[in-house]
Amino acid sequence: MAMTNAETGRRPRIAQVGAIALGTPDIDESLRFFRDLLGMEEVRRDGSASYLRGYQELKHHSLVLFESDEPIVDSYCLRTERPEHVEQFADILREQGVEVLELAPGHQAGRGAAIRFLHPHSRHPFEIYYDIEAPEAPDGIRSLLPSNSSKRRGLGVRRIDHINLATAVEQVGDAELWLRETLGFRRRESMSHDGTLLSSWLAVTPQVHDIAIGAGVNNEEAQLHHVAFNLENQSDVLVAADTLRDHGVAINAGPGKHGISQGMFLYVRDPGSGHCVEIFAGGYLIFDPDWKSIDWDMEAVLSHGLSWYGDPLDTPEGSALSVTTPSSGLQSRLGSLARG
């Protein structure tokens, strides 16, 4: 449903992509990757789930790992600008006929009440929340800098950067429009072919993308293409490639630089789960309030859009990078904690 600017001004708003919850068949190996190699802090272990954050994240977590028979995404978690926006989004979703579950505080450790629903077009499971704790790190790893939760460790993941969703090609147009019109993401760059939207990079922050959605090579709905974590410097991506290769982590693509977003990339797979993880640094920022989306044709994207230099990425024929992982349905795998 299209909205006027006046209506948009009164609408609830998403502030950031806050977290992702990943099911892993080998949580010990996943922890070796995210905690020991990438250097994320394990803030809390809660039964079969582990909650982690980067050293520059003050809130409780941006990554949940939980034991699962198969690699699966339980939820893509978005944080609102204000507490009341959570229920306002619930009202809007219900008006659209979207089934909404109310999640009790603690459904994810450290987090307040949340809502959960499936994207009405792509079927990705989203959770929207506002309240989340900001625990201090333990003495041994706490940073002297108050803007850092902990000392930089490992490869120095400082925060979650973005999520990249894949779905069936015929869903991309409607799914992307819904992210813009209902959740308020703004299109920054996009790729179309013969008038069909194939990929879009969108943000609610000055980043080029907090979220991307595109057609998956396998043409299945509700897939994770990759989740990206941010390092401070472009040269850190080279160190990550060097170190991860020496620790037996297979490199899918990179290091290289994107044309779209201009970020440095390195794609690997979590050895415990197979989920695709991008190590990301740099990129340009957008402060222009009437930014016009940069719309690429496929020829330019394949020439220098996806990969400005480095390995070619995601060709139409597919590549190691094209392997996606599925998402949960409406019911969360993190336990039957739905309220009401």
The token pair at 199 is 């990929």
Residue placing its CB nearer to Fe ion in the complex, 40 or 228 = 228
Closest by Cα among 162, 258, 260 to 210 = 162
Residue placing its CB nearer to Fe ion in the complex, 77 or 165 = 165
The values of phi and psi at residue 74, to 5°, are -80, -40
* Least distance from Fe ion to the Cβ atom of residue 38, Å: 16
* Least distance from Fe ion to the Cβ atom of residue 201, Å: 9
Residue placing its CB nearer to Fe ion in the complex, 65 or 281 = 281
CA distance 306 to 7: 35
Closest by Cα among 197, 152, 224 to 297 = 197
* Least distance from Fe ion to the Cβ atom of residue 207, Å: 11
Residues 144, 38, 20: CA angle, nearest 5 degrees:
95
The 8 Å CB, 24+ separation contacts for 40-47 are 40/154, 40/157, 40/229, 41/137, 41/141, 41/149, 41/150, 41/153, 43/110, 43/135, 43/137, 44/109, 44/110, 46/109
Residue placing its CB nearer to Fe ion in the complex, 65 or 306 = 306
Number of neighbours of residue 287 by Cβ within 10 angstroms:
6
* Least distance from Fe ion to the Cβ atom of residue 113, Å: 30
* Least distance from Fe ion to the Cβ atom of residue 268, Å: 12
CA distance 157 to 35: 10
CA distance 161 to 227: 8
Binding interface with Fe ion (CB under 5 A):
164, 228, 278
The token pair at 174 is 């409607």
CA distance 268 to 252: 5
Residue placing its CB nearer to Fe ion in the complex, 127 or 278 = 278
The token pair at 101 is 């579950």
* Least distance from Fe ion to the Cβ atom of residue 292, Å: 22
* Least distance from Fe ion to the Cβ atom of residue 71, Å: 18
CA distance 211 to 82: 20
The values of phi and psi at residue 119, to 5°, are -50, 125
Residue placing its CB nearer to Fe ion in the complex, 270 or 278 = 278
CB 293 within 8 A of CB 190: yes
Residue placing its CB nearer to Fe ion in the complex, 103 or 241 = 241
* Least distance from Fe ion to the Cβ atom of residue 228, Å: 4
The 3-state DSSP class for residue 254 equals strand
Residue placing its CB nearer to Fe ion in the complex, 115 or 228 = 228
* Least distance from Fe ion to the Cβ atom of residue 86, Å: 27
